[in-house]
Amino acid sequence: MPRDKGALAKDTALASLAMAVAYWSKALAVETEKVVQRKREEKMQAELERYMEHAIGYRPKGRLYAATGHER
């Protein structure tokens, strides 16, 4: 530990900043994963609708598959 005057306060401030950065990094990473999963489900739904329209001649209403709710 440095013996400079006020070094402890600066060290504490840096530690607090590091903890805040770590917290927000994790929080944003989780949010990003949720957005990616939602987009994946939207694309799956659109592809299934396109397939069903081609296979049976019309586009069914409602969801064509059950969302798993699993997050990757």
Q: What's the CA angle centered on 27, arms 26 and 33, to 5 degrees?
A: 90
Tell me which residue has tokens 């805040």: 20
Which is more confidently placed, 62 or 16? 16
pLDDT(66) > 80: no
pTM for this model (two decimals): 0.49
- What's the rounded Cα separation, in Å, for the pair 26 and 58? 44
Cα distance between residue 62 and residue 66, in whole Å:
11
Amino acid at 18: A
Tell me the one-letter amino acid at 8: L
Report the pLDDT value the prediction gives residue 72, as an integer from 0 to 100: 46
d(CA 57, CA 51): 9
